[in-house]
Structure 1
């Protein structure tokens, strides 16, 4: 019976503010680039075993269809606070039929997650100024926290 879903789960030891994720294929070697098609990338506070795809935040969906191929490096903006980055596919590539391989297969060489601890921002992870939590890219204070500070 073919596998219907393949999944790669990255666990981050503590919550971080993610600003982007890079997904890398293996390049022109023996890598079957078509197995990089139709994957999706989610961010979540809970693991893949504790959530369904609808309970996570979708950052990216690859919509490449056969015979086209996705690029072997994909830069994915993903502005989320999370502990898990989950890459999944249910795609059964038609090119695998002649190899008598059936079901979902995901070939990814590397995933890089860029982000900072939740009380910092920017590429250099500078401390938030005037608030505990701020936008991971700009450093702008969270509106809810800002209103709380004004009411005191």
Structure 2
């Protein structure tokens, strides 16, 4: 893995789909960060990202100097109903070897800039309640806790809570 200074944040490219799918697969298979229990196919991931691109929503990729995709982040509509169109939900996923190096902080900072430019007025973070690193990251950017849902997800033979954090953009 390259040094932290050896990366760039850039827009998503279609060629990123396999790497993004592989990064997401790690979280599906080994963590409760996502409630997916099966990794979506590359075609499904491409469809999801294509829909975000069509809407003009932020979609950022962190790329190492060697061309490796180190992570990705996006902000897209929180809920599909039209009244929610100015509220987004953020997601950040890092390659397992890029965690803890400040990349998530850089990606969230850029995601906030791009989300404002896209016209979003509120950002919601929906985080598994025991994911302290993600909660702390969002709190450092001024997100505040606005809710907790208990035992709404079941993965790896245990019930999981989620928290909602919110930031006015």
Q: Under TM normalisation by the shorter chain, which class is it? A: under 0.3
Give the number of the structure with larger relative contact order, counting CA–CA contacts within 8 Å between residues 6 or more apart.
Answer: 1
Taking structure 1 as the reference length, what is the TM-score of the superposition?
0.26
Taking structure 2 as the reference length, what is the TM-score of the superposition?
0.24
Larger helix fraction of residues: 2
Structure with larger Rg: 1
